[in-house]
Amino acid sequence: MKFIAREGRDRGDVKLYALSTCVWCGKVKKLLADLGVKHEFIDVDELTGKQQAMIREQLDTLDPDWRFPCLVIDGGRLCICGYKEKDIREALGS
């Protein structure tokens, strides 16, 4: 299982769990790029077998409702699920 890394300003550990076909996930990816924030993302629907099972376990602890996109900051200190631009900007200090 490999997250895709994007370079930018370090705002802590920022991970995005997304779906490749999700419009809102694409909007969060674009927002992170526009803000120039260093982050990692993974498209959960493109995983198979063990990889997807591992991600499911992680998501169960972060957001049992499995909402996408799911932006996780600092190992779960803060989770923002859905496209909430204002919350994302505030959390990342942008």
* Residue ranges per structural domain of the chain: 4-89
User: CB-hemisphere CA count at 13 Å for 76?
Assistant: 7
On average, the pLDDT of the chain sits at 93
CATH superfamily of 4-89: Glutaredoxin (3.40.30.10)
pLDDT tens column, 10-30: 999 999 999 999 999 999 999
Task: Please tell me which residue, 25 or 94, carries the higher pLDDT value.
Answer: 25
Distance between CA atoms of residues 40 and 13, nearest Å: 8
What 3-state DSSP class applies to 27?
A: helix
CB 56 within 8 A of CB 70: no
- Which stretches within the chain are classed as H helix? 23-35, 49-62, 85-91
pLDDT > 70? residue 51? yes
